Every structure is written in structure tokens, then in C-alpha cells.
Amino acid sequence: MHTVNPTLTLPFAAALALAPAAHSGSFSISPLPPVGDPIGFAGAFAGIHRGHLIAGGGANFPDGKMPWDGGKKVWHDRLFTLDLNHPESGWKPAGKLPSPNGYGVSITTPEGILIIGGSNETQHLQQVHLITLNADRQATFLPLPPLPEPLAQMCGSSVGRTIHLCGGIGKPTDTTAFNKHWTLNLDQPATGWTEAPPLPAPGRILATAATIGGRFIIVGGCSLAPDAAGKPARTYLRDAWSFSNNKWSPLADLPRPSVAAASPAPVSGDSLFIVSGDDGKQTGLASPTLHQGFTPEVLRFDISENRWTTAGNLTAPPPVTLPTAPWKNGSILFNGEVKPGVRTNQVFHFQLPEKP
């Protein structure tokens, strides 16, 4: 039997009592009802359609045993929906994904929510679907052109009517990550995915994407290389890049590494916000049980100044490997991982000021 840690799951009534985040002039955190699963999910998908948050998929350890104790990681296909105009009504079941899936990219568009690539227990996936919500508040799926190859742990965002993807790996056993860059024109989806100029930097997984103006931004992540045993070893990255006018340009380096922060990153005006992330300071611990959780620090990047600053700290257990969904001058943060193997079912609105 899995025992839920109440400090991680934050029941709605308790969550409402959370103090506002530090530096509230930079952002504020408002709790939403926790998703209807006592454990929560990492690598889930999320987006907004018809005023509803649709979220699900991802993976967890439902028997409560961690992987180093022989626990089995399970990928999920369940979807949930929350009426954002009446969140007090709670989460409702919204059907299932076409198959269990996690660690892909989800992007909110005017037509619905794009679910791109991802993985299951045995392989990475090429499938792409547009999710919409029907009159019965159930998810419906429109297949779109598949990715040119299987892909998971990449990042992506939309720039106008163009979807950008970058990074990722093609197989669970890969020891190097892609620096490939793919685009899809939403006005001509039948033309499929186009290979764009690759990132002129190490390939990476678990980077954070964002869109500022007409620029596609990619931040951090980690590169992979085989270790002495042939297993993938991570190098934590601090670089940031901007793509526009068909070329990449370097941005100022992050003040710290950031892996698996909330993506796409919340954006306000000319600023993007890196919410939490694995900074690599706790790698090499004698046991994963000694892990103290991920950084609560929120970083802000002002593209007009090409400068990083600290925006404040989260006041809830900081999650990584989580999707975001744009909502009311901010982003909804859905679930994630708060320690190695440990998920949370928390859901928050990360709200930014109107004039950053």
C-alpha cells in the first residue's frame, strides 16, 4: 500500500493556506485542486481547451516502491479535466490517450492541445495528436503527421503558427541526445514535419522551451555520453539559445544548471521564468533516499537585457519533469517529480504581473 506524504500532495483545503511566494512582485502562486490521483504523475501532458485544463498521461510508481527497491515504473493513459472557471467543482475523468504515454511535449493551440511524441514502457513514440474537448467534456483525438522518428524528453513551443521541437532521444537506451530541430506549420499540417537548422550546441534532453516575441528559446537541459559501463551519463548545461530568422543565436548562460524545469516556460512580456529544475547539486549521493528535493529558486530572463536574475522561491515542494499550460497571464503547473521517484498531485497557477 502506498502511503501518501501530505506535505507533498497538498489537499486543496491545505493548499489554500499556502503563503504567497517570495518576491510576490515577480510572481504569485495560487493552488488549484490536486488531480484525482493520490500519487500524481511525472512527464504528463497538459493544455487548455474551451476553458478547461486537460491533463494526464505520464508515469509513476503506483505500488509505492521506488525503482532502487525494485519498484516498477508504470506509464498511464488516463486524462482528467478541470473547469478553470469553476475549479471548485474538481477534476473529472476525460477519457484516455490513444496509448499510455509520457515525457513528450504538449502545446496549447487555438484548435486544441498538441500531444507530441513521448514514450511508453518499452519504446519512444512518433505519434502526434490534437486533443479537443467535446460537448460531454470528453477528449477527442485528431491524428496529425507523425514525427520523422521516435522522440521523447525533447522540448518545444509554438511561435505564431509554427511548432518548434528541439533535442530529445530516440530510444530509452540512447547514450547521446539529439540537437535536431523540427518544425510543423499548423496552417499546413499535411506537409508534415520539416527539419530546421540544428542547435549549434550539444544535443540535450529535458531542456526548457519558451517563446518570446517571434523567437523560439531553448534553455539548459543535460547532454548525454556513455560512461565506462556504456550507460548514459549526464552533463548538466547552463547555455541558452534563441532561434529566429532561420538562425540560432546564443543568449546569456544560466546562473546555474537547469534540467527538467517546467516547460514551456511561463512568459510575460520580454521575460521568461525558469521554475525549479534539477541543478545537479545532489548528483552522486550514496542513496537516492538522501535527496533533499529540487531547487525552489525561480529564475527570470529578460531578453531585452540578455540578463538572468532571481525572481524568488516556490513555497511548495518544487517539481521537475512537468508540463505547463498557459492561463491568465501565467501558466498552470501540473504535477511533476519532487524527489527521485516521488511524484506530487499538486496543481498550481503560476501567475505573472501584467507589467513585468
The span from the CA of 274 to the CA of 267, in Å, is: 9
Residue 355 has a pLDDT of 56
Instruction: Tell me the three state secondary structure of residue 190.
Output: helix
Whole-model pTM? 0.92
C-alpha 4/C-alpha 76 separation (Å) is: 19
Domains of the chain: 6-15+26-351 (2.120.10.80)
Please report the pLDDT score of residue 356 as a whole number: 43
Bridge partners of residue 184, in order along the sequence: 163
Whose cell is 477519457? That residue is 95
Neighbour count for residue 255 (Cβ, 10 Å): 14
Grid cell, residue 231, equals: 550507460
For Cα atoms 252, 256, 260, give the angle at the middle one, nearest 5 degrees. Answer: 100
User: Cell triple for residue 132?
Assistant: 479537443
* Residue 82 confidence (pLDDT): 98
Return d(Cα 136, Cα 89) in angstroms, integer: 16
Grid cell for residue 269: 512580456
Residues with Cβ within 8 Å of 69's Cβ and at least 6 positions away in sequence, in order, are none
For residue 211 the three cell numbers come to 517563446
Q: CB-based burial of residue 214 (10 Å sphere; 0-12 exposed, 13-18 middle, 19+ buried)? A: exposed
Beta strands at 74-75 and 59-60: parallel, antiparallel or unpaired: antiparallel
pLDDT for 25: 56
Fill in the amino acid letter for 16. L
Block mean pLDDT (10 aa), the chain, length 356: 30 36 66 96 98 98 91 97 96 98 98 98 98 96 98 98 98 97 97 98 98 97 96 96 98 98 96 97 91 96 97 94 96 97 96 72
